[in-house]
Structure 1
Amino acid sequence: MKHAPGSAGRAWLDEAVRKIEADFNRSADTHLIHVPLPRFPGIDLYLKDESSHPTGSLKHRLARSLFLYALCNEWIGPDTCVIEASSGSTAVSEAYFARMLGLRFIAVVPASTAAPKLDAIRFNGGEIHAVDDPRTVYDVAQRLAAETGGHYLDQFTYAERATDWRGNNNIAESIFSQMAEERFPIPSWIVCGAGTGGTSATIGRFVRYQRHATRLCVADPSHSIFHRHFADRALSTLPEGCASCIEGIGRPRVEPSFIASVIDRAIAVADGDSIGAMRALSARLGRSVGGSTGTNLLACMQIVHEMAAAGAEGSVVTLLCDGGERYGCTYYRDDWLMERGLCWQPAETAVRAFLHA
């Protein structure tokens, strides 16, 4: 990889960090949306709307942190080709920051990645390197980095260490700050998915550092390793051919950034149920959301029902990870779902009832 040499390189690095920090200062924090639950008057549900970032997803935070981490380690210089292995959304955000710094960016993505995500990567100046087998994205990204003399950002390794989990406006600090004036300011539960594991690591560590009573639940696709690993730490990979269609979360292997010890619970969600919940929430909000948000909501619904059955009151916070615009050709097409044998209608009906009186 190419390093920034001498004082000239240091000047470039200083300017690169300034540009990223200036972009952050121009962006307001993402909204925290209260979703009333008329059937559960003692429980409040909130969605942290990460779709309002400039690149449209939760991964904007991660991409910013990864670039700052690589810059401050002097792994990236003015001529470095930046490479990432991604299911799409992280690459969209990283392409945005690479273009800001005038750097070439290559995204190694599964060939099955939704076309609108690929279009967004290209729109931000990134290049696409598609692979047929999603398990090869890591090795291909490393090979391209070696061939170009570039830097592999490697979100799956560095996500949990690139973000300052103690504070500095990470997503956990933002959630607790925005909850401060709510009826139940300290959430009983925070629910999030896991792709790299960086978000769950940040939230879990922050909760413990601040000594909050909040518990953390990872909502994980059924065909993912994370919930299996949480239950049995000896499990680290899925069998060949076992994969989820929910982009952005769920992995066939336990990623280095996934820290199971800071998680209190994991709930497995079938892909069809995620789609049904996604569609029900989109109808409730009047705008479309992505599949991973449906996964989160299904887990929230289970937790809320359990709290109500126990006579408990409190708040539950989850993430609206991205908008549904990127999935118009997949999750929002009935024929696409039926071709894959996904049954979403029962979950959609159940979630509609959960969200309405």
Structure 2
Amino acid sequence: MNALEILAAEERRGPAPRLHAFPLPAEWGVTLHLLDESVHPTGSLKHRTARAMFRHALRTGRIREGTTIVEATGGNAAVAEAYFARLLGLPFVAVMPRRSSPEKIERIEQYGGTCRLVHPPLAIYDEARRFAEECGGYYMDYLANGSRAVAAEGEDDVGRVLLDRVTPEWVVVGAGSGATSTAIGREIRRRGLDTQLAIADPENSAYFPGWALGVDDYATGMPPRIEGIGRPRMEAGFTPSLVDLVVPVPDAASVAGMRILQEVAGLRAGPSTGTALWAAFQLAAKMCRERRVGAIAMLICDDGALYENTYCSEAWLDGKGLNPLPWVDAFGRFLETAKLPLTSEHL
């Protein structure tokens, strides 16, 4: 079995993501659907993107037998790439900031990956490129190449998977590399749908101000605190022309969204899903004000169990200056009144 056949077999074996319903009041006439991408073997949406990137690199000759795969991240993307590298019998090296948590290092190493720790944090990109050249490997660079690979390998497109299941008024997603939002935006247009695409953006991320100002290379220079989405600069894989709205979301509201999702719907998810939930509720409140009915769809991006020692820890949240409790109350009031404050000034 060659490498592409191995990837195809892995995809066939994988569980189909379930479409969950968040229990909004029936009298609103607004429904909220969540496609659960945490069911993949490595527990996140990045699993699908990594598989597309390996397929694309194999088909374009960038990966061959024995090629060392290099990536510059310690997050879910690195975990997924380590998984696929091991599946194909390839060495994998994640270049990560020196202060990366032991849990992140362990997740990569459990799939046979090796972690190279560097300082300062922004040096990981140059170091990954340098190391790949030195060892004759391939720097995957999911930030630059994720959208391109997903577009080329359309059979593994989350936009197709979602829109085969539901035709919503809005789709709400976060943006990291931009691969997911671009894939969904392209699929909406390919189908000729009236569906609109909204991006939920955490604090310090460049996507909201860049989109609002029409500056495609906008940069904040400050790393977002919500893992998995948001960037200090607008990445090349993000396509503003496919986006109808970008919703800025307070970080504490993202954490509150995690809690509400579990308490009300019984679904565990990470903070990026909490970010999207806040934006989805903003859109639901708007639809209720305008007396419009219809569906909203979003993704469960990863499993909340991955964040037991961080976003699920009161001590960790205190250390980061994040207090989700006022936002939890705001979520609760929304489910009773269909009204949601736009900023912390209204809490």
The normalised TM-score by structure 2 is 0.92
Aligned AA for 1:309? R
Aligned AA for 1:352? G
Contact 2:262 2:268 in 1 (8 A): yes
Say if 1:52 and 1:327 are closer, same or farther in 2 by CA, change over 3 A.
same
* Partners of 2:101 and 2:272 in 1: CA distance: 14
Aligned equivalent of 1:305, options 258, 280, 285: 285
Partner residue in 2 for 1:347: 327
Q: Does 2:212 correspond to 1:231?
A: yes
What is the alpha-carbon root mean square deviation over aligned residues? 1.9
The range that moved more, 135-144 or 16-25, is: 135-144
* Partners of 1:44 and 1:76 in 2: CA distance: 44
Aligned AA for 1:335? A
Contact 1:278 1:291 in 2 (8 A): yes
Aligned AA for 2:214? R
Following superposition, the deviation at residue 355 of structure 1 comes to: 4.7
Q: Does 2:90 correspond to 1:103?
A: yes
Aligned AA for 2:196? R
Aligned equivalent of 1:55, options 42, 60, 70: 42
* Partners of 2:152 and 2:25 in 1: CA distance: 34
Q: Does 2:284 correspond to 1:284?
A: no
User: CA-to-partner distance for each residue in 1:196-245, whole Å, 9 max, x for gaps?
Assistant: 000000011111111000000010112101111111233634344x2211
* Partners of 1:111 and 1:39 in 2: CA distance: 49
Contact 1:165 1:202 in 2 (8 A): no
Contact 2:70 2:128 in 1 (8 A): yes
Following superposition, the deviation at residue 131 of structure 1 comes to: 3.4
* Partners of 2:330 and 2:13 in 1: CA distance: 40
Say if 1:194 and 1:133 are closer, same or farther in 2 by CA, change over 3 A.
farther
Aligned AA for 1:205? R
Say if 1:137 and 1:200 are closer, same or farther in 2 by CA, change over 3 A.
same
User: CA-to-partner distance for each residue in 1:156-207, whole Å, 9 max, x for gaps?
Assistant: 111111113795241111112122xxxxxx2000000011000000011111
Partner residue in 1 for 2:28: 41
Partner residue in 1 for 2:184: 203
Partner residue in 1 for 2:307: 327
Q: What percentage of aligned pairs have identical amino acids?
A: 39
Aligned equivalent of 1:272, options 208, 230, 252: 252
The range that moved more, 244-253 or 159-168, is: 159-168
User: CA-to-partner distance for each residue in 1:97-123, whole Å, 9 max, x for gaps?
Assistant: 000111110112334545433321111
* Partners of 2:173 and 2:231 in 1: CA distance: 14
Contact 1:167 1:206 in 2 (8 A): no
Contact 2:73 2:94 in 1 (8 A): yes
Contact 1:87 1:248 in 2 (8 A): no
Give ranges in structure 2 of 5+ residues lacking alignment: 338-347
Say if 1:302 and 1:125 are closer, same or farther in 2 by CA, change over 3 A.
same
Contact 2:35 2:299 in 1 (8 A): yes
Partner residue in 1 for 2:134: 147
The normalised TM-score by structure 1 is 0.90
